[in-house]
Amino acid sequence: MPEIGFSAVIFDMDGLMLGSEQMARTAWRRALAEWGFVLPDNVYERIVGRAAVDTKAVLRDALGSALPVEEAYQRKQHYLEEEIAQRGIPLKPGLLELLNCLDAQAVPKAVASSTHRAFVMRKLAVAGLLSRFDVIVCGDDVPNGKPAPDVFLAAAERLGVPAGRCVVLEDSDAGIQAAHAAGMIPILVPDLKPPAAEIVALAHRVFPSLIEVREYLRSLLGEGPREGCRYTPRR
């Protein structure tokens, strides 16, 4: 596989930087149980990485029109906020080291999440990450959620970096599809869901954790621009 040159890195949030997908799944199950519904794993996997409007549509389709999806969504948010307030949000292994590596080379960084802005900012603040990114784009900032490319294209535009020079780090099928549609360089770091073969085929690389992502990007960066690394500063 050919190596890459890149000028910026765009991060997904839930499941990629934050160990929050398990928390969200538990919150969804608690919420749905109040109305007598069970959330199968294969249904939850379909909503990972999706915007709220798409998540609700998937749940209606899978669980039936009797589900009061708006009320269930608000209950899920309540349970998730409650868990965050009590326990905080765990960071994925290797995240801080990766951010430090990119900072040392002055590589621009963005967050591109399907989650609504208020909750993105809350999660990043709780995790101590709010100041680590140049740009933050959220699900309610763009017309279409992942797997549409909108959120990634908006992040690249705000960074001032061509789409083809952006590495995207993602854990979800929808995220990899969106990054590929944006013409970016998708790197997959699976979380709860093992990736399907067709998703792996869209990814430039697949790594088990951000630890290996850091080593890979560091190998491309070398010792810095003066040493002929593959990083090209934005203009």
Active site residues: 12, 14
Tell me which residue of 64, 92, 39, 49 sits closest to 212, measured CA to CA. 92
- How many Cβ atoms from other residues are within 10 Å of residue 194's Cβ? 9
What are the structure tokens assigned to 139, written together? 């699900």
Contact between 206 and 171 under an 8 Å Cβ cutoff? The reply is no
CA–CA distance, 50 with 58 (Å, rounded to integer): 10
Containing 113, the helix (H) or strand (E) segment is none
CA–CA distance, 224 with 235 (Å, rounded to integer): 17
- Please report, as a single letter, which amino acid is at residue 31: A
CA–CA distance, 137 with 115 (Å, rounded to integer): 9
CA–CA distance, 195 with 172 (Å, rounded to integer): 8
Tell me which residue of 160, 162, 97, 87 sits closest to 132, measured CA to CA. 97
Tell me which residue of 111, 109, 108, 101 sits closest to 18, measured CA to CA. 111
